[in-house]
Amino acid sequence: MPKITLVALTITILALVQFFFFLQLVGMARQRYNVKAPAVTGHDVFERYFRVQMNTLEQLILFLPALWITAIYAFVAYYWIALIGACYLVGRFIYQRSYVADPSKRSLGFGLSALPVLALLLIDIVGVIMLWVRSP
Amino acid sequence: MPKITLVALTITILALVQFFFFLQLVGMARQRYNVKAPAVTGHDVFERYFRVQMNTLEQLILFLPALWITAIYAFVAYYWIALIGACYLVGRFIYQRSYVADPSKRSLGFGLSALPVLALLLIDIVGVIMLWVRSP
Amino acid sequence: MPKITLVALTITILALVQFFFFLQLVGMARQRYNVKAPAVTGHDVFERYFRVQMNTLEQLILFLPALWITAIYAFVAYYWIALIGACYLVGRFIYQRSYVADPSKRSLGFGLSALPVLALLLIDIVGVIMLWVRSP
């Protein structure tokens, strides 16, 4: 198996496990702050956990397809994918910690995890244009 | 075509059709309970339909990638994937029915559809570790 | 590379870039209308941008898997996929413009982008039934 596939698989599973973990935190916050379903508002700290979850969901729908297009067509070397993936995962954890602590301080973590998504999108745009150019 | 691919394709399409159906229910509930866009609150029963939709979206972003990693690398036999998929689909329907009837009774359906997601994640974690170990 | 793959790749990246753009609009609307995180309500126009983003997320989780199942198994010719994809992308832009201008006028754009999703799902249902029938 090519190393690039193995790296993309590993990043994907770590990103899914991280999101699964964020979902559990929302469930726990729902209990702790007594926010009764179907409400998703009513306690400021619960709302922070909930917004981290929703924002991560929005990033994942960009991150996972962009990651796999990069990996399948090997638009960059495997270590670049490892670096981009690590940056996303660490950025998301910082985002989660800082958002729950103080929503006004979420910028660093947000940027650290949004930048890899933007990088993958740019790589894929250039990569697909190259595929069109080379296509007979 | 390998049977495992055919099974994963079938589960995927059923899961997408089910989510499409949940989206229609939200649209119908919006009309019936007169919740004007862009609001997503204002009537408790509408909010239940809406939360079923959002929760299913959160599960799908985990379920679909985890399912396909399991299927593509054949980490388990095809009948296990069929069983896990059936459990997810039935669990989601029970979740939808019970949540709309009474949000406090959503646990059974939630568990039935979250367990398959957890099972797939665990299978994938073990599977990818094995791939790393075997990789030269 | 088969033309159908190249078309599906191009549509995927355009759909991701479009969603990325909608996310930026929400961030800008958050500033302009002074909606402080973690709130996602409080100003009607902000809520319109936010609902466009959420609705696009819901459509993407259907659109991308359905598109790739159609493309990988070549259930239809590449120009049909190009047409369906273009309809989705243009529909989403009309949806975004009209929803922000006046939520009651979002139907045309919604329909134009939901129809391609429905078309892909129907193609995939028929396609997978045919795969089962032909499978030994």
Does the CB of A64 have a partner CB in chain B at under 8 Å? yes
Structural domain span for residue B53: 3-134
pLDDT tens-digit readout, A5-30: 999 999 999 999 999 999 999 999 99
pLDDT at residue A108 is higher than 90: yes
Which DSSP category does A43 fall into? -
Look at residue A100 in the predicted model and tell me its pLDDT: 96
The secondary structure of A1-21 as a DSSP string is: --HHHHHHHHHHHHHHHHHHH
Does the CB of B57 have a partner CB in chain C at under 8 Å? yes
Residue with tokens 């589960």: B11
ipTM, two decimals, is: 0.96
Residues 6+ apart with CB under 8 A from B68: B8, B12
Largest CA distance in chain A: 61
Interface of C with A in 2-31 (CB under 8 A): 3, 6, 9-10, 12-13, 16-17, 19-20, 23
Q: What is the CATH number of the domain that holds A38?
A: 1.20.120.550
pLDDT tens-digit readout, B79-113: 999 999 999 999 999 999 999 999 999 999 999 99
Query: Domain tally for chain B?
Result: 1
pLDDT at residue B40 is higher than 90: yes
Mean pLDDT of B34-48: 94
pLDDT tens-digit readout, A43-61: 999 999 999 999 999 999 9
Look at residue C58 in the predicted model and tell me its pLDDT: 97
pTM > 0.95: yes
Look at residue C1 in the predicted model and tell me its pLDDT: 87
Quote the mean pLDDT of chain C: 96
Residue with tokens 């029970």: B94
If we measure between CA atoms, which residue out of A37, C61, A128, A109 comes closest to residue B41? A37
| Pair B61, A19: CB distance under 8 Å | yes
Is the Cβ pair B62, A6 closer than 8 Å?
Answer: no
| Pair B77, B2: CB distance under 8 Å | no
Amino acid identity at B10: T
Look at residue A23 in the predicted model and tell me its pLDDT: 96
Buried b (16+ CB within 10 A) or exposed e, B83-110: ebbebbbebbbbbbebbbeebeebeebb
